[in-house]
Amino acid sequence: MTIRRSVHCILLMLGALAVGSCRIITASGVSAMQTAQAETIATAVAATLDVSACKAVGATSTTEPAQAVAATREEVPANTPNTTSTPGPAGMHPDLIASCSSSPYQNDEFCWDCSCEKALDSHLDTRWTTKEWQDDAWIMVEFADPVVIDTVILRWEDAYGRAYSIDVSNDGTIWTTVYAETNGNGGVDEIHFPSTTAQYIRWTGQGRGTAFGYSLWEIEFP
Ligand SMILES: [Ca+2]
C-alpha cells in the first residue's frame, strides 16, 4: 500500500512537471490506472511534453480567446459632431424665433457645426463661430412675428467683437442701425437701444478683438 501511494505521488509530480500548463490532475484519473500502465504513460508524457496530455488528465485552459476580447471593445467614432439643440435664448420663447442665418461658420475638428443655432440654444457651452478670421461677418435672427425689442445681450467666447453694429428690419431687406460699438472688450455686452418693432435683427462685425474670428456663446433677447 505504501509503495503504491509513493508511485502515485511520483506520477503526480512527473505529470505536473511534464505538462506545466496543466492546473489540475484529477485523482480519479490516476487511481483508475494500473500502476504499470500509469508509469508507462507518465514516462511518455514527461518525454514528449505533449500538451494534449493535459486533456487526458482533465486539465482546463484559463486563457481567454483573443477574438472574444476584441469583440467587446466599443468603437467610438472620432470627432463626433455636436448634437443640434432647439433654438431658444433665455428670456424669449423658442417659438418666437423662426430661423437664423450667418456668414460662413466653422465646422471642423476645432468647432463642429458651430452654426448660428448654437448662439440661440440657451447653452453656454455651444457657440457660433465664424469660419474666416476676417472682420467682415454677420449673424441674423428672424422672428416668427414682429416683436418689440430694446435689448440684446451678447455672450462672447474669447474671440470677441471689438467693433460691430446691431441692425433691425421688418422685411429682411431694409435695415436700420439701432446700436454701434467701436471699442468693445468682450465678455458680456448688454446692449440697450430705443424700443422698436422688428421681425429681423442682425449683428454685423466690423473689427475683431483678437487675431481669430468671432465666437458667440449666446445672443439673448430679454
Ligand atoms: Ca450656445
Domain coordinates in residue numbering, the chain = 2-64, 94-220
The torsion of the CA quartet 217, 97, 86, 123, rounded to 10 degrees, works out to 20
97: left (phi over 0), alpha (psi -120 to 50) or beta: beta
**Entry pTM:** 0.60
Q: How far is the CA of 219 from the centre of ligand 1 (A)?
A: 8
Alpha carbon of 39 to ligand 1 centroid (Å): 80
Tell how far the Cα of 184 is from the centroid of ligand 1, in angstroms.
20
Task: Return the C-alpha torsion angle 107, 112, 115, 121, nearest 10.
Answer: 180
Q: Are 135 and 162 in contact (CB under 8 A)?
A: no
CA of 72 to the centre of ligand 1 (A): 36
3-state secondary structure 132-154: CCCCCEEEEEEEEEEEEEEEEEE
* Alpha-carbon distance values, 194 to 35, 134, 151, 152 (Å): 109, 30, 9, 12
Query: How many CB atoms within 10 Å of residue 83?
Result: 8
Mention every residue, 6+ apart, whose C-beta is less than 8 A from residue 97. Answer: 87, 88, 89, 120, 141, 142, 143, 144
Ligand 1 centroid from CA 196, angstroms = 25
Q: Give 159 Cα–ligand 1 centroid separation in angstroms.
A: 14
Looking at residue 206, its amino acid is Q
The neighbour count for residue 17, using CB atoms within 10 Å, is 12
How confident is the model at residue 86, as a pLDDT?
45
**Span from the CA of 220 to the centroid of ligand 1 (angstroms):** 10
Check: CB of residue 36 under 8 Å from CB of residue 44.
Answer: no
Cell of 12: 503526480
Strand-pair partners of 70? none
Per-residue pLDDT for the chain (222 aa), expressed as one digit of tens each? Answer: 444 454 443 444 433 433 333 333 333 344 444 444 444 444 443 443 333 333 333 333 333 333 333 333 333 333 333 334 444 445 566 678 999 999 999 999 999 999 999 999 999 999 999 999 999 999 999 999 999 999 999 999 999 999 999 999 999 999 999 999 999 999 999 999 999 999 999 999 999 999 999 999 999 999
Quote the pLDDT of residue 95: 75
Surrounding ion ligand 1 within 5 Å at CB are: 118, 121, 123, 126, 218
94-220 CATH pick, 3.10.20.30, 3.40.1260.10, 3.30.450.20, 2.60.120.260: 2.60.120.260
